[in-house]
Amino acid sequence: MKYLIVGCGRVGATLAKRLARGGHDVTVVDEVSSAFKRLGRDFPGKLVLGTGIDVDVLCRAGVEQADGFASCTQGDNRNIMAALIAKHHFKVKTVVARIYDPLRAAMYRDFGVLTICPTRVGAHLMANALLQESYRKLPYERNDVEVVEFVVSDAVAGRTVDEITTSGKTRVSVVVRDDESLIPPNDLRLRAGDRVVMVVAPEAEAEVRKLTAPAMAAR
């Protein structure tokens, strides 16, 4: 697969090296030649000097043949402009932009651009680390579904995965038990202290909260 990355900062360089290690054909664009040093001398991809919002630069970088495009510069405006050019001018199938502003990140998803908001994701992770609650929402960049994690209480222990699942509304994805992540069969019996990761429709979230520890459910 061919991927084009605009921005060779820490995120862009790390993404480029990860894709290259996976055997993909990677091209990186940046305005500053010294930024390419982050990739190391053994980086097998192509380097293009220039701005990611210049159509000619993107053509030189092979955007017309790209299977995916990621814009990872430090500026929201540049990232979204580059992403929109790739998506609507060059018709790249999969386009991702890093957007720091949570409101703008949600807005631009309506234009068909996948957005990653480090501000929102970071806040979620830090809140989870601080609060250490029995029930928490995990970062997920959509509003029509929630990904939640909760600790199985004594009251729920002994029930199977199937018994705590609501058809079409909830689905258990992972059960973490004794530091091991399990993709559970429907007949797996839950134990007190298990951590359950579940995909939940928003209207079913209140019901899922009842599966957590009594102290949490009573709040």
Domain CATH number, residue 14: 3.40.50.720
pLDDT in tens, 117-160: 888 888 877 887 777 678 888 877 677 888 999 988 888 999 99
- Contact present, 168 and 158 (Cβ < 8 Å): no
User: What is the arithmetic mean of pLDDT over 37-46?
Assistant: 96
Per the structure, the count of domains in the chain is 2
Which domain covers residue 153, as residue numbers? 129-217
Q: In terms of domains, do 99 and 156 share one?
A: no
- The answer on 115 and 35 residing in a single domain is yes
Share of the chain above pLDDT 70, in %: 96
Domain shared by 168 and 112, yes or no: no
- Which range is least confidently modeled, 19-23, 134-138, 194-198? 134-138
* Cα(52)–Cα(7) distance, integer angstroms: 8
> Per the structure block, which two tokens stand in for 128?
């989870």
Question: For the stretch 62-93, what's the b/e string if a residue is b when 16 or more beta carbons lie within 10 angstroms of its beta carbon?
Answer: ebeebebbbbbbeebebbbbbbbbbbeebebe
Q: Which CATH number does the domain housing residue 181 bear?
A: 3.30.70.1450
Asked if residue 103 and residue 27 are part of one domain, the reply reads: yes
Residue 82 and residue 1: Cα distance in Å, rounded? 20
In this prediction the pTM is 0.70
Are residues 22 and 108 part of one domain?
Answer: yes
